[in-house]
Amino acid sequence: MGSARRHFLQTYIYSYPLGYTVPIKNALAFLERKLVVLFKKSARAVAPLEAKELLDQGTVMIDVRELSEWNHGHAPGAVHLPISKIQEQLHKIPKDGNIVVCCRSGSRSSAAVSFLLSHGYNAINMKGGMAAWHAHGLPVVNSSGIRGSII
């Protein structure tokens, strides 16, 4: 194999779907972006009203916000599991049935859903998060069980 060809192969990978070469130093970031796109395509998302219907049917809701956010207000019946603890608490999350995941706006829950999907869970992101839930007039309780707020 010629020196120039060897250098090319050691420096670049070919992206078949995109039809162009990508520097290997950027390959990991490139592959991570592709995986995120794949996960987002396969992730299901529901609006707050549909999430409420699922909860009423017995679906588990996991709220991945931080404790201070949770204490101010969350959906009644939701389970608090901060996104930073999901990996270590994965064994406690039921694999049978759907899981609705929420945060304040939908960003952290989207990341959590991608992680859960990659581990075989039927996770669903709630669009707009608890801010949208509250905006739709759905119930919010604080850590004392009385009317709460979303921060």
A 10 A CB-CB count for 27 gives: 13
Residue 58 CA to residue 97 CA, distance in Å, equals 9
Structural contact between residues 99 and 115, judged by C-beta atoms closer than 8 angstroms: no
- pLDDT(77) > 80: yes
- Structural domain boundaries of the chain? 3-38, 43-135
Section 37-61 average pLDDT: 85
Distance spanning both ends of the chain, measured CA to CA? 61
A 10 A CB-CB count for 39 gives: 17
Structure token digits, residue 38: 């794949």
Residue 102 CA to residue 95 CA, distance in Å, equals 17
pLDDT band for position 40 (cuts 50, 70, 90): low
Work out the angle between the directed axes of helices 27-42 and 107-118 (0-180°, nearest 10).
90
- Is 103 an annotated catalytic residue? yes
Annotation: CATH topology of 43-135: Oxidized Rhodanese; domain 1 (3.40.250)
| Catalytic residue, candidates 61, 81, 100, 103 | 103
Least confident of 14-23, 65-74, 94-103: 14-23
Structural contact between residues 129 and 109, judged by C-beta atoms closer than 8 angstroms: yes
3-state secondary structure of 126: strand
